[in-house]
Homo-oligomer: A and B are copies of this chain.
Amino acid sequence: METTNGSLNRKLRMALVGGGQGSFIGRVHATAAVLDNRAALVAGALSSNPERAKASAPAYDIAESRAYTSYQEMIDKEKSLPVDQRIDFVSVATPNHTHFEIAKAAADAGFNVICDKPMTFDFAQAEELVKSVEKSGVVFAVSHNYTGNPLVRQAREMIQGGELGEIQAIRANYIQGWLRTAIEAEDQKQAAWRTDPSKSGAAGAFGDIGTHAYNLGRYITGLIPEEISCNLKTFVEGRKLDDYGHAVIRYSNGALGTVTASQISHGRENDAFIEVDGTEGSLQWRQEEPNVMIVRKNGSPHQMYTRDPNAPFMNEMGAAACRLPAGHPEGFFEAFANVYRFAYDAMVARAAGESFETKDTIYPNVYDGAEGMYFIQQCVASSADNGAWLPMKYENARS
C-alpha cells in the first residue's frame, strides 16, 4: 500500500459534507478515504443542521475550528487558509438534491471533489457541473464504488484487451428488498429521502441503484449506448417513486443490454450482478461475492478468477486494486476506497502541476456522473411514454 502520495510527500486533506449522526454513506466515505493512509479528514460540514454539524465533528476527529455549519462557510473559510493547511478535496455525501450546489461550489473554488451518486438532481445540473469541472480543472470522482472492485477492473482490462472478443450482450441487475414495505412512512431516514422526489430526483430505485448497474456495464465493456426503452414500476402503495424497473439498451455496435433494479425483492440484500457475453468469452461477477469472477469459453472448464494480486492471470489494473492476498476477503470498503485511491493519484498530479486524464479514468468521473443523470432522465421519460425508445448516447460519454 502506497501511503506517501509520491512527490507530494504528505497526506491529502479532506473535507466531508454530510455524514452527520445517523448517516450511512458519510461514514463509508470517511472510512474509505483514509483506508490507505493517504488522506486525513480535517474539515467538515457534517449536517445541514448547524448544531448537529458541530456535534458530529468529534467522532471524525475534526477540530472544532474546522467543523463548519454549512458547506458555504466551509468553502469560504478553507479557501482563505494558507495553502499548506487548506483542504485538497471535498467529499459530498448528502442527499441527492444537494449534490449539485455543493459540488459546484467546491469545484468553482478549485477544490477537487468526490461526489456521491447519482451525481445531481437532474441532467441539466449535471451538464452545468461538467462545465464547472472543465473550467476549474479540478479532479472530480463519482462514487460508483463497484467499479473499485479488483475483479471489475480485471474484467474491464480483459475486455479492453480483447480477451472476450466483441461484446454482444450485457445483463446487469441490482436487486434489493429493503423497501418492500413503506418504511419511509416509519421515519426510516435512509428510506425517507430516497423515496421523496424532492430529494431523490426523478427516479427512485432506478436513480439509486439502477444507475450503478448501468454504470457497471458501461465501465466494464466501454460499449456506447444508442437507445433505451424503460419500464418503471411503483409496487408499494403510496410510494411516489419507482421501486422496480427494467430497461433495454441498444448499443452502437449492435449489442443488446438489460438493466433491472429492484428494491422490493424479499430478502435480497444488495445483489448487483452482471453478465457479459462476447464473441470469444463470457464473464459474470456478483457484488455480494466480490472476490470471484467466472469467465467461460466454450470447450474449456469454467474459470473462476479469484482476486489474487500475485497471480499471473491477474492483469495490471486488477492486481493494482488489491490490498490483500488471495483468500483474504476484501469487500465494500476496499472497493469504495479504490475510487478514492486512484482519484488521489490524479489529485497528486494536479497538485504537482502535472496533467492527468479526465475522461478515460480508472475511477468514475464527472462525465460518468452526467451520463448517469442522462440515463435517469431518459429512463423516466421512456417509462412515461410507454417504454418508447429514446436516445441514450450522451455526447461526452467515455468509450
Contact = CB atoms under 8 A, between A and B. Distances in A.
A161 interface: no
A47 B43 CA distance: 34
A329 B329 contact: yes
Nearest to A299: B312
A341 to B, nearest CB: 13
B59 A37 contact: yes
A185 interface: no
Contacts of A330: 329, 331-333
A177 B331 contact: no
A141 B24 CA distance: 30
A178 interface: yes
Interface in A1-42: 1, 3-4, 11, 24, 27-28, 30-31, 34-35, 37
B331 A329 contact: yes
Nearest to A328: B332
Nearest to A324: B332
Interface stretch (A88-96, A97-105, A214-222, A282-290): A282-290
Interface in A150-204: 164, 168-169, 171, 173, 175-178, 180-181
Range of interface residues on chain A? 35 or more
A315 interface: no
A313 B329 contact: no
A248 B387 contact: yes
A168 B264 contact: yes
9 contacts: A168-B235, A229-B229, A229-B387, A231-B250, A267-B282, A287-B329, A290-B329, A299-B312, A300-B312
A384 B387 CA distance: 16
**How many copies of this chain does one complex carry?**
4
Contacts of A302: 267, 303-304, 306
A63 B305 CA distance: 41
A58 B264 contact: no
A266 to B, nearest CB: 4
Interface stretch (A76-84, A252-260, A357-365, A372-380): A252-260
A122 interface: no
Main secondary structure of the interface of A (DSSP, over half): loop
A116 interface: no
Contacts of A59: 1, 3-4, 37
A291 interface: yes
Nearest to A269: B327
Given A260-B171, A303-B302, A329-B288, A266 B296 contact: yes
Interface stretch (A107-115, A128-136, A272-280, A345-353): A272-280
A262 interface: yes
A123 interface: no
A327 B260 contact: no
A306 B296 CA distance: 12
Nearest to A58: B4
A358 to B, nearest CB: 29
A185 B257 CA distance: 28
